[in-house]
Structure 1
Amino acid sequence: NSRIKMNPKKLYQDPNMESGPKWTQVKQKLSAKMQEVRITRQLSSQLPETGALLSELISKPEFISNQHERAASRAIPLGDAERTLQTTVQGIGAEAEQLANKLNNVASDEAELDEKIDRKKREYEQLQKRFAKLQVYVLNFRNLSYLRKVHDDLAKSERQRQEELEKAMRLAVEKMRLEQEKKDAIGLTEDDTDAPLVDRRQSVRKVYGNMMGGADSSESEDDGDDDIIRMEEVNNIKKEMEDDDEGVDNDYMVGITVTHADDTKDDLSSGDDF
């Protein structure tokens, strides 16, 4: 036992490993045989059908020839032949009568067709006239819609222009009022502090009256309706200012008349000497 030698390379080799390729070949051959069996079965099922069709085709000429010989050898009865011919002649006569009736009715059919054509022509003309009227109506409607749109746009632009004019007018009047207030304030501050209150009011009234009077005369001569509206707003502002100070307003009117008439008289009316 001690002399037994073992080859470790061959220790784990399987003796059945060589049978793998053989089993694959057997499977391939078996599948090929099964395919041949299927083809054979299909051909065997087609053989009876093909044989029956071939037999029918072979026997048909014999059947036809037999029928021909039988018909040729049979004697035709005269009564049956006459009845058949009479039936055929009657059918042909009925068809001829139908054709004759149709030919006779061609004139009436033509008249009916002509009447239908005339009626369709009249309907077509009426439809054409109606179509023309509808076209005119659509055109007028489109023009009217366009004119309405233009009118709306013009009215909108006119309203915007009027609003802008009114806004500009209000701004101008407000600016004039602010400037006048500034001038009044400047006139009050530049006067002598020792001068009487009546004299200072007189000087302020002179500036305000001269300014507004000149503006009224120039605007009434140069402008139209817009100037009249502006003057009305200026007069409203004057009335508001007059309501705030009624006593000063009376002196203001006296100051305006005296200023335009004579400066010396205005000095005398104030009651103070410079």
Structure 2
Amino acid sequence: MIYEVSHRTRYSYSIPVSFSHHVLHLSPRTFPHQVCHRTALSISPTPTIQTARTDYFANPETHITLQEQHSELVLHVRSLIEVRETSRPVPAETRPWDEIYGSLVSDISEPARNALQFAFDSPRTRYNVDLRDYATASFPPGRPVLEGALDLTRRIFRDFDYDKTATTVWTPIDEVFAGRRGVCQDFAHLELACLRSLRVPARYVSGYLLTKSPEGKDKLVGSDASHAWLSVWCPEHGWIDLDPTNNLLVSVEHVAIGIGRDYGDVSLVNGVIFGGGAHTIEVAVDVNPIAAATMS
């Protein structure tokens, strides 16, 4: 599937900002199953300094500095992205989960070293004995890793309610677990913390999810939203993406932007400002399929 993606963010400040510096993760990256054919980022006002680089996780990253006074900041990225179907292993035929960590520790290959770093805590997925106990119900000794991960995904979907008002981007994962509600970012962090408590490598994925309009109605412009899910490491098969918010294996309707240990590594907009006072944020996202054929 080929998508045109538009993501526009507008910050409005009650007091003018005199200086600001931001790190942006807005440009989608290319994966084995996904190609970003083109992307363009427009910024208003025009930054005094703008540089592009690739971060530690190979995500495109833009650094901007604004040195002129401004009362609003508009970031608008437009991309053309192709997402392809991928083959998935039979869950019951994947390697037992409790063999993976030991095999990675003794493996010096690049894929193994890359996967191993995602088996440990991160700032937003701290170890918690309650999370380990919750995860253990899906991972009895010897169970195939993808079979267990799918069961954990199903249980999170069943046991936790989607509630936009329950959490913020700063809500700790233990509070999400205790409150049994949250949003996609929370559920991705929750499953990551559960998997890592058992030393199963898993990574955070930020991106978009194609939404569908109610039957007989047009989809509202700007009504799509950013999304988050996770990938679990399956030796011999690589990273397999799971979406606990919707209880499914990720499909061609998911468009990835970047990967990291957790949200903090790939937050879309991060930075510091001088001035600004109170501020409001308006976000409009459109994910529009334009073709199903593979582009050459």
Larger radius of gyration: 1
- The TM tier, using the shorter chain, reads under 0.3
Length-normalised TM-score, structure 2: 0.20
If each structure's helix is expressed as a fraction of its own residues, which one has the higher value? 1
If each structure's strand is expressed as a fraction of its own residues, which one has the higher value? 2
Higher relative contact order (CA 8 A, sep 6+): 2
